Amino acid sequence: MQRLIVFNNMSLDGYFVDAHSDMRFAQNDRKDPGWDAFVAGNASGGGTFVFGRITYEMMASFWPTPAAIQSMPHVAATMNKNPKVVFSRTLRKADWNNTKILKGDLPEEIRKLKAGSGNGMVIFGSGSLVSQLSQARLIDEYQIIVVPIVLGNGRTMFEGITENLPLELVGSRAFENGNVLLRYIPVA
């Protein structure tokens, strides 16, 4: 069975996008070789990337570009070659390499994907997917990068959760640039 992991950045005040649905706040420009090594190592992993339409369109507009390939070659290579699934009822075609559009019931489609073979799945961004799949108890691990910035306003990736979701901390790591990785699993 494949595992489903959420990997998202979050501001210190709990937002994964700002008031304009922008994620650029996560680009922490403070020099940190440890952070750079973590990003490069994390990017070399396999698996299927899972997106909602908005995050998919944002990622597809950046990662295949020469600017992305030049600035972050290891991350771009992985983003461009790995299989991708985008959940959307409105997207008609997906031009980004190795992408499949799914329009069915989100929890049911994820259950099918988890039951199949593969190297796991990772959700980036896609707050509406995160909240729906959290509610359905289909996420196996949350990897949250807390970025040292306060946005004051934005969206949380858990909007719409109607019941408590107890989590257990299974790991953490602080980086010199101020970012902190927090790893949680749902409590059974």
Digit-coded pLDDT (tens) for 154-165: 999 999 899 999
Cβ atoms 75, 40 nearer than 8 A = yes
Q: Around Cβ 28, how many Cβ atoms within 10 Å? A: 17
CATH number belonging to domain 4-186: 3.40.430.10
Q: Which contacts (CB < 8 Å, 24+ apart) does range 156-160 have?
A: 156/14, 156/15, 156/16, 156/127, 157/6, 157/8, 157/10, 157/16, 157/126, 157/127, 157/130, 157/131, 158/127, 158/130, 158/131, 158/134, 159/127, 159/128, 159/131, 160/128, 160/131, 160/132, 160/135
Query: pLDDT value at position 86?
Result: 96
SS3 159: coil
List the end-to-end C-alpha distance of the chain, in Å, as a whole number. Answer: 17
Give CA–CA dist 90/61, Å, rounded. 17
Residue 27: pLDDT band by 50, 70, 90 thresholds? confident
Alpha helices in the chain (DSSP H): 33-43, 53-62, 66-71, 73-81, 106-115, 127-135
Sign of CA dihedral 47, 134, 17, 15: negative
Give CA–CA dist 173/99, Å, rounded. 32
Residue ranges per domain, the chain?
4-186
- Amino acid making up residue 51: F
Range of weakest confidence among 29-38, 113-122, 161-170, 172-181: 29-38
The residues pairing with 172 across neighbouring beta strands, listed in sequence order, are 182
Range of weakest confidence among 9-18, 38-47, 98-107: 38-47
The DSSP element (H or E) to which 30 belongs, if any, is none
